[in-house]
Amino acid sequence: MQNKMIKKAPIGVFDSGYGGLTVLSELRKAMPDNDFIYLGDNARAPYGTRSFDVVYEYTLQAVKTLFDQGCHLVILACNTASAKALRTIQQNDLPKIAPEKRVLGVIRPCAEMIDEFSTTKHIGVLGTVGTVISESYVLEIEKLHPHIVVSQEACPMWVPLVEDNEFNTPGGEFFIRQSLESLLSKDSALDALILGCTHYPILIEQIRKFVPNTVRVIAQGEIVAKKLVDYLRRHPDMADRCSKNGIKMYYTTENPRSFEEKASLFLDEKVVAEQIQLS
């Protein structure tokens, strides 16, 4: 009865910039009928090198903006935001600002599934400096699978390589190889690598060149999509509040024309974006 009065709305997908489009792309494949609003804080990206307080403040602004757009469910499709802001938003802010709404991240779903990808139970995580320093992957995996040994590597050069379209050059490959060699040298038993940053799936061909083929390279978009489908199955009330007209909307805090151009690197189609301010 109560649900009939609630206006259905798209699922909000937030990222610091373009990278979350790799996650959105998988969400759309898994849930083609659902509507999505993508919000990229391109004007203030990257988040990877920013402090906890700043990432939290920016992420909360983005979540509130998506709530103002009507969204009942927001996915933080950004590892740095999931690592540094999600828990505080879920525990401190949501109960005050919108107790009936939900915000989910991308780290927990990967931590839940990682056991299925590794035989040796020695895995590696590649991420931004912020994600690695937060130890969010290590802590989540430890809670769920205490037998798994996790090694991490921060790859500060990788996001700029994607943003500047320099990853397919000898210089770009140098930095990709350098970070991978550093991670692989930390644990010779590694047999699975999580790409713990939204941009890294774009580098997957280059990454595969420098990783032995006994090591699985795991992009998180598909995992997040699978887990979201499962979440909505287990929460029919929330599923019911998500509109389903196959519509996608794109908002950016930067120039929408630049967003539209860059977005084609992440999505195989033209998008129309609008500028929005977060406050």
Catalytic center residues: 78, 197
Helix (H) or strand (E) holding 153: strand 149-154
Among 34, 42, 136, 198, the residue binding ligand DGL under the rule CB under 6 A is 198
Among 78, 219, 223, 232, the residue binding ligand DGL under the rule CB under 6 A is 78
Provide the b/e sequence for 151-181 (b: ≥16 CB within 10 Å): bbbbbebbbebbbeeebeeeebbebbeebbe
Tell me how far apart the alpha carbons of residues 273 and 260 are, in angstroms, rounded to a whole number. 6
Question: How many chain residues touch ligand DGL (CB under 6 A)?
Answer: 17
The 83-122 site mask, x for binding ligand DGL (CB under 6 A), equals ----------------------------------------
Q: Is 79 in the site for ligand DGL (CB under 6 A)?
A: yes
- Asked whether the beta carbons of 106 and 76 are under 8 A apart, the reply is yes
Q: Is 44 in the site for ligand DGL (CB under 6 A)?
A: no
Residue numbers 137-166 binding ligand DGL by CB under 6 A: 159
- Considering only the stretches 44-52, 93-101, 107-115, 256-264, report the one whose residues sit in contact with ligand DGL under the rule CB under 6 A: 44-52
Name 7's bridge partners.
Answer: none
DSSP count for the chain of H helices, then E strands: 15, 10
Q: Is 197 in the site for ligand DGL (CB under 6 A)?
A: yes
Tell me how far apart the alpha carbons of residues 206 and 225 are, in angstroms, rounded to a whole number. 24
Catalog residues that contact ligand DGL under the rule CB under 6 A: 15-17, 19, 45-48, 78-80, 128, 131, 159, 197-199
